Copies of this chain bind each other. A is one copy, B any other.
Amino acid sequence: MRADAARNRARVLEVAYETFAADGLSVPIDEIARRAGVGAGTIYRHFPTKDALFQAVIAERIRGVVDEGRALLAEADPADALFMFLRSMVLQWGAADRGLVDALAGSGIDVNTVVPEAEDEYLAVLGDLLAAGQKAGTVRRDVTVSDVKALLVGCQAMQAYNDDVAERVTSVVFDGLRAKGRR
- Which residues of A are at the interface with B, using a C-beta cutoff of 8 A? 24-25, 101-103, 105-108, 140, 142-144, 146-147, 149-151, 153-158, 160-162, 164-166, 168-169, 171-177, 180, 183
Contacts and interface: CB of A to CB of B under 8 A. Distances in A.
Given A24-B108, A105-B160, A106-B107, A154 B173 contact: yes
A150 B146 contact: no
A172 B165 contact: no
A146 B164 contact: yes
A147 to B, nearest CB: 5
A103 B150 CA distance: 20
Most buried by B among A155, A164, A176: A176
A165 B180 contact: no
Most buried by B among A108, A140, A165: A165
Nearest to A183: B180
A165 B153 contact: no
Given A24-B106, A157-B153, A165 B183 contact: no
